[in-house]
Amino acid sequence: MGFRRAAGAEISADGTWTNFSKRHSVRPRRVVAPADLDGLRRVLKETAADGARLRVVGSGHSYNDVAVAPETQVSLRHLDKVLDVDTAAARVKVEGGATLRKIRTVLGRHGLAFANMGDIDHQSIAGALSTGTHGTGLAAPAFASQVVEMELMLAGGSVVRCGAEDGDLFDAARVSLGALGVIVSVTLQAVPAYNLRRSDAIVTRDEAFTLLADPPAIDHIGLYFMPYIDQVLMWTAERTGDPVDKPSAPREWFRDVVKVNYGLDAMGMVARRAPRLVPALSRAFARGIRPETTVDTYDKVFLRPLFVRHDAFEFAVEQAQGPDCVRHLMSAMEDAEVPAAFPCETRIAPAESAWLHPSYGRTSTWVGAAIQSPGIDVDGAWQEAQRACVAVGGRPHWGKWHTLEAAELRGLYPRWDDFTALRTELDPGGLFGSPAIDRILGHV
């Protein structure tokens, strides 16, 4: 079948960097991976002296070009240590390059856990924060709201520490697209380790829209719509004191790797060659999802391994607008006859206080879509869906497909001008820039 696991960016023999979805590639003029803060400081000063700009890259799991660095590409892979675990306060301090996987593993050794997380853990904490990575649940915070303190290295090489008491800087820095400085450390508020009871089921679209309009009082809920079919895959999860009770390891492997990953990879190959078969493929995939209820540790419930290379769209809209925006998204893909045989996840999440978080100031429905990549033309349909979301104030996930520019984005974020003013103050020379940052945030 030719299936191979894909977890992040790829770097070719000639130094070309390609992001996870294979939509964006670049061959940076310079690639550096500082060993310590002094090395990072030197890179900043050398880049500025050369009149160049730099971008810090994490795992390359963003689907758009936000991490593309045509001039100086900086990796924090050597600045990835867990610096301190305070079990009494349930806090952990890590360097910016530490991956979510590494952090959760260390937390687990101390009986601690993330309060919430998404469905992958390849990202660095700096990358996850910079792009507003989130999970699901009406009261479950995104990573930005789990931060209690950060340290940024500014363009001149100084390090500034900020916490909740610092107000504006803290609220700007927690989701900054890497445009204010380099995140060199993060202190996170953890919680005691917990188990979740997860239930998987199939509902109709009408039932799913009803759930989105009036979400049940449950800790976590996710809905996977698929174009062309009425079946919607639903999962819910609630905290429980019950012990782990899950399928055997071989059955888990068959479900997560064979049925989902090999299945979706095969569906994508067929969809490219015979688009008319997509509805039948999607119905077969839905029939293969077995309704079940299991209890597992929180990370095993949230993290369902998805190795198939794919592209993704996601907008955060006011919760009441969620059902209509999902309808627009599905109609746009179906009307354009996009050969998309891939689950499109919709989630609900609480209001966030970081200025540029897409859920800033309001409970949000995250309207998402995904397709196998590369090779399926979906941009026209996603443009139509984007228009529908923006018309009701929707904001794009910073790490996923969108075509909005600074002039359009400014009207969607109440604190946009405050962020721009702070960016100009902290980085007046525009060191932390790129063509993508120019387009999204504007020139300094």
Do the Cβ atoms of 271 and 226 come closer than 8 Å?
no
Do the Cβ atoms of 135 and 366 come closer than 8 Å?
no
Q: What residues have CB less than 8 Å from 410, skipping those under 6 apart?
A: 416, 417
Question: pLDDT tens digits for the chain (444 residues)?
Answer: 444 555 678 888 889 999 888 888 999 999 999 999 999 999 999 999 999 999 999 888 888 999 999 999 999 999 999 999 999 999 999 999 999 999 999 999 999 999 999 988 999 999 999 999 999 999 999 999 999 999 999 999 999 999 999 989 999 999 999 999 999 999 999 999 999 999 999 999 999 999 999 999 899 999 999 999 999 999 999 999 999 998 888 888 788 888 888 888 899 889 889 999 999 999 998 988 889 999 999 999 999 877 888 899 999 999 999 999 999 999 999 999 999 999 999 999 999 999 999 999 999 999 999 998 777 899 999 999 999 999 999 999 999 999 999 999 999 999 999 999 999 999 999 999 999 999 999 998
**Global pTM?**
0.95
Quote the DSSP letter at residue 207. H
Quick one: tokens of 237?
A: 């999860």
> Please, is 327 exposed, middle or buried when counting C-beta atoms within 10 Å of its C-beta (0-12, 13-18, 19+)?
middle
pLDDT at 304: 80
Distance CA 171, CA 307 (A): 33
Q: What residues have CB less than 8 Å from 397, skipping those under 6 apart?
A: 131, 132, 312, 314, 315, 316, 358, 366
Quick one: tokens of 95?
A: 């360097």
Quick one: tokens of 195?
A: 């188990």
Quick one: tokens of 343?
A: 């689950």
pLDDT at 22: 84
Q: Which of 26, 94, 76, 82 is nearest to 178 (CA)?
A: 76
Quick one: tokens of 36?
A: 């310590």
Do the Cβ atoms of 113 and 134 come closer than 8 Å?
no
* CB neighbour burial string for 294-320, b if at least 16 within 10 angstroms, e if fewer: bbbbbbbbbbbbbbbbbbbbbbbbbbe
* CA 134 to chain CA centroid, nearest Å: 6
Distance CA 97, CA 117 (A): 17
Instruction: Using alpha carbons, list the distances in angstroms from residue 374 to 39, 184, 207, 264, 311.
Output: 37, 34, 32, 14, 8
* CB neighbour burial string for 395-404, b if at least 16 within 10 angstroms, e if fewer: bbbbbbbbeb
pLDDT at 232: 97
Distance CA 401, CA 383 (A): 10
| DSSP-derived 3-state class of residue 239 | strand
Do the Cβ atoms of 78 and 35 come closer than 8 Å?
yes
The torsion angles phi and psi of 354, rounded to 5 degrees, stand at -65, 130
Q: Which of 26, 12, 440, 410 is nearest to 432 (CA)?
A: 440
Distance CA 369, CA 15 (A): 31
What region does 348 belong to: left with phi over 0, alpha with psi -120 to 50, or beta?
A: beta
* Tokens 């792009």 sit on residue: 131
* Tokens 């299945």 sit on residue: 263
Q: Which of 135, 362, 105 is nearest to 235 (CA)?
A: 135
Domains of the chain: 8-193+404-443 (3.30.465.10), 195-396 (3.40.462.10)
pLDDT at 7: 61
